[in-house]
Structure 1
Amino acid sequence: MPVPPTASEPSSHLLVPFASASDPACRAALPGLVLPQLTALLGELIPVYTDAGDDHSLSPPHERALAQAIGLLRADGCPFGDGLIPWAAAEGAQPDRPQAWFTPCHFQVGMEQVTLLPGDQLDLADGHARALFDALAPYCAEDGIVLSYTSAARWHAQGEPLRDIACASLDRVGGRSVEAWMAESAANPSGGRLLKRLQSEAQMLFYSHPVHDAREVARLHPVNGFWVSGAGALGHPPALRPRPTMPDGLRHAALKADWPAWQRAWTALDANEIAQWRARARRGEPITLTLCGERTAQRFTNAPQGTGARLGRMFKNLLGQPPAWKTLETL
């Protein structure tokens, strides 16, 4: 498998998650976006790499783009497969050990589907999260998984059952039906079955826990399960590059399907980070811009400054630069 071209230095790389989304309401809102800075910046850049996928991949485009940008690759130099980017191992002290993130969440049972709200959308305080963590950790230990408390919305898990488990990112499943996104593994079917059983046990355990009643009294969503993401191991200690700049405003609005807020976030992004990157480009600094939707990520740069690139810019400027939303609707 060929390795995608390497992005420029991270300090010059702006990576934008949820620059577009697949929701019909978002698509309808695109023509109303007025983004003068992005339109002008795209006129000065050349597309250098497109990662085309679909809405059903376990790893969304912005996570694939981030893994490429920081150099998170397999030992053979190839990108990780869908849903197999080992984010927990990459951040762990023992990257060669199978690891994952367990996120406490609320499964909302509807008439025809079960949807998920992750911990960062539940007003989950440390007191409640700690109590549920302490209750679940012994069950995990019985199955060879060591659970460590990282934050209220994210717990670190380590153990052999987490090897080669393909997981859907929370940015994929949040607010959606979970049926099509449950963790699976052709390489480790026993690990997949173990995790499903552990999730079922957590559902019963959390339902009978005093935290459940306390949250109901406070009119908060009960925590009735956890989601597994970022599972796997690295065959060698990663020598990762620093992360690119990743604004989060579009992501927060998109995961809540709040498209008016998403439009406002784009207006703010255009006036701030995009304007800053355009100013850097006009000073002649090499920059990289990666725009990510829910299907596709596209990377742009103003380098190299070869004859072909300069002619391409001149030709594009002669034809006139289309509004930025035309680019966003392709993502």
Structure 2
Amino acid sequence: MSDTTHLLIPYAASASPGCQQALQGLALPHLDRLLARLSPHPAQSDSGEETTFSAPHERALARALGLPAQDGRIPWAAWHRHQQGQPADGAAWAFVTPCQWQVSTDHVTLRDPEHLALDEAASRALLAIVSPWFAEDGITLHYDQPTRWLARSPLFALLATASLERVLLRDVRAWMPDAREARTLHRLHSEMQMLLYTHAFNDERTARGLPVINSFWVHGTGPLPVPAPTSATAPTVPTTLRGAALNEDWRAWAAAWTALDAGPVADLLRKAEGGTPVLLTLCGERNTLAFHTAPRTLAQRFQSLFRPQRFAELREKL
């Protein structure tokens, strides 16, 4: 598949009534023409539920890169280190994202960390505050970027965790790792909330009108397989639908789809029409549907002419 141009589209559809309504008036001519040329690729498709820890596009991307695609155990943190040229040493790594849990009467919502206005200096200061607590439980933290740290511990070897995108703006209680397997993390969550509740770090943020940081989220857990996957050509993964879908802004989502159809999808169509092998992967909240360039029988060609496959017929399958 190394010579195949692969376009992987996350958040292509949702079961949300608002999304289904937006889809009714959505015209995607290039996508429909592309689907009419391509054949289903069952080997690259999969099915799941909205409650899986790993979103469909994460599972699809893991498969494309040759990574393990077990639910909640895609080793994104270890892969990130590997891509940076740092040895994984067979160790289990995880991402740790400092965040705010907004507590209400019946919800504990994880706010988008990108809205916390964390810069590198503040993130490193917070890391220095919490690192000793994690170290007592054998978890070593390393700075990676303002809203994401790296963590190393045997605890992450087999622990399934929900990806950050699954839990954003949702009730965290439905996405917590198994209490029996993650007793340490559950306790650390409680300790961090108590530590940060009255800490000067948050007092200063409050004085500046910034959101407080009172918790963290662990994701991307696991070790890389040995040997690590060889370098594969990563698919193109546009993120333009993500923000609107997570915020359920379906008008903005439809506008983003229109732009996507006129841009990357139209480019892929031109390549397919020019004879380049292509792979299109559409990902919703539950399932993945893949389509590729493949020889078709005469009957299939006639069918595509008189009853071409269109996105409107596929959206409910995602």
> TM-score when scaled to structure 1?
0.89
Match of 1:23 in 2: 16
Match of 1:111 in 2: 105
Match of 2:178 in 1: 184
Q: How many residues align?
A: 310
SS of the residue 2:111 aligns to:
strand
- 1:175 maps onto 2:169 in alignment: yes
- Taking the aligned partners of 1:325 and 1:319, their CA distance within structure 2 comes to 13
Using the TM superposition, give the Cα deviation of residue 149 of structure 1 relative to its aligned residue in structure 2, in angstroms.
0.3
SS of the residue 1:230 aligns to:
strand
Match of 1:53 in 2: 48
Match of 1:228 in 2: 218
> TM-score when scaled to structure 2?
0.92
Match of 2:300 in 1: 312
Q: Which residue type is aligned with residue 249 of structure 1?
A: T
Match of 2:79 in 1: 90
Match of 2:66 in 1: 71
**Percent of aligned positions that are identical:** 43
Q: Which residue type is aligned with residue 41 of structure 1?
A: L
Relative to 1, partners in 2 of residues 1:174 and 1:285: Cα closer, same or farther, differing over 3 Å?
Answer: same
Using the TM superposition, give the Cα deviation of residue 10 of structure 1 relative to its aligned residue in structure 2, in angstroms.
7.2
SS of the residue 1:252 aligns to:
helix
- Contact 1:97–1:160 (8 Å) recurs in 2: yes
Using the TM superposition, give the Cα deviation of residue 11 of structure 1 relative to its aligned residue in structure 2, in angstroms.
5.9
- Contact 2:279–2:292 (8 Å) recurs in 1: yes
Using the TM superposition, give the Cα deviation of residue 219 of structure 1 relative to its aligned residue in structure 2, in angstroms.
2.8
Q: Which residue type is aligned with residue 176 of structure 2?
A: M
- Taking the aligned partners of 2:260 and 2:36, their CA distance within structure 1 comes to 18
Give unpaired runs (5+ residues) of structure 1: 1-7, 74-79
- 1:149 maps onto 2:143 in alignment: yes
Using the TM superposition, give the Cα deviation of residue 197 of structure 1 relative to its aligned residue in structure 2, in angstroms.
1.0
- Contact 1:45–1:313 (8 Å) recurs in 2: no
Q: Which residue type is aligned with residue 194 of structure 1?
A: T
Match of 1:261 in 2: 252
- Taking the aligned partners of 1:180 and 1:10, their CA distance within structure 2 comes to 41
- Contact 1:10–1:69 (8 Å) recurs in 2: no
Relative to 1, partners in 2 of residues 1:172 and 1:95: Cα closer, same or farther, differing over 3 Å?
Answer: farther
- Taking the aligned partners of 1:329 and 1:224, their CA distance within structure 2 comes to 38
- Contact 1:88–1:230 (8 Å) recurs in 2: yes
Q: RMSD over aligned Cα, in angstroms? A: 1.8
- Contact 1:86–1:234 (8 Å) recurs in 2: yes
Q: Which residue type is aligned with residue 74 of structure 2?
A: I
Match of 2:229 in 1: 239
Using the TM superposition, give the Cα deviation of residue 39 of structure 1 relative to its aligned residue in structure 2, in angstroms.
1.0
- 1:327 maps onto 2:318 in alignment: no
Match of 1:3 in 2: none
- Taking the aligned partners of 1:66 and 1:195, their CA distance within structure 2 comes to 27
SS of the residue 1:329 aligns to:
helix
Residue 209 of structure 1 is aligned with which of 199, 224, 231?
A: 199
Q: Which residue type is aligned with residue 53 of structure 1?
A: G
Q: Which residue type is aligned with residue 251 of structure 2?
A: P
Using the TM superposition, give the Cα deviation of residue 115 of structure 1 relative to its aligned residue in structure 2, in angstroms.
0.9
Q: Which residue type is aligned with residue 73 of structure 2?
A: L
- Contact 1:95–1:237 (8 Å) recurs in 2: no
Q: Which residue type is aligned with residue 68 of structure 1?
A: R
- Taking the aligned partners of 1:164 and 1:315, their CA distance within structure 2 comes to 47
